[in-house]
Amino acid sequence: MPVIAVIDYEMGNLHSVCKGLENAGATPIITHSHKELTQADAVILPGVGAFDPAVQNLRSRDLEQPIKDIIASGKPFLGICLGLQILFESSAEGNQPGLGIIKGKVKRFVSQPGITIPHMGWNQLELTQPKSILWEHLPPQPWVYFVHSYYVDPTEPQVRAATVTHGTQTVTAAIAQENLMAVQFHPEKSSNIGLQILSNFVSQVREKIAA
């Protein structure tokens, strides 16, 4: 089975992600070891919490450059929730610079009558890269589970793989660029749809190993 490293930097819902990966047919390992991250067949960066502590924790573990190197190497990489946001250059939530792997900023939802912040609960994706491997075997507008007050705004719109509408705002819900994928929602909390997304990621890892 593919070995998928789940980065431990004290900001992620690690065990739920690992359970989803096991159900998808992978062997997850929770680690912040550079060696284990490099040796794994793929890497996942989960994240729950605030932007500044997340990037500070990554940097205190000297993980910034290894993450950049892993993505540059072509190894399959998946960010989840805050793990999507910290790939960007900066966030309105904090003062720390992000990893800057994807150009763009993280912005806060604008308060509007009739909508709640955080955006929490089930919502439908609009797939803007419908042929992305992440969306294989999914319905056209799948329902997934969100919990977030901030959203990513990429400089280059072509990296968007899906959007979601909350109130009158339509924002990026996922990105995909070659081996790098990341989602704002929680696949590990998104029932059968989420499991299929994780299975699709594992399938891509298998293809990479076989190539």
Which CATH number fits the domain that encloses residue 78?
3.40.50.880
> Is 18 an active-site residue?
no
What stretches of 74-120 show up as alpha helix (H) in DSSP? 82-85
| Residue indicated by tokens 């450059």 | 65
Q: Which of 32, 119, 148, 188 is catalytic?
A: 188
User: What does the alpha-carbon distance between residue 72 and residue 66 come to, in Å, rounded to a whole number?
Assistant: 10
From first to last of its 211 residues, the chain has per-residue pLDDT tens of 999 999 999 887 788 999 999 999 999 999 999 999 999 999 999 998 999 999 999 999 999 999 999 999 999 999 999 999 999 999 999 999 999 999 999 999 998 888 899 999 999 999 999 999 999 999 999 999 999 999 999 999 999 999 999 999 999 999 999 999 999 999 999 999 999 999 999 999 999 999 8
The residue segments making up the domain with residue 8 are 3-210
**pLDDT computed for residue 112 by the predictor:** 86
Nearest to 187 by CA among 90, 84, 118: 84
Give the full edge-to-edge strand order of the sheet including 104-108: 90-91, 104-108, 150-154
pTM: 0.97
Say how many domains are in the chain: 1
Q: Which of 18, 64, 81, 166 is catalytic?
A: 81
The β-bridge relationship of strands 77-80 and 42-45 is parallel
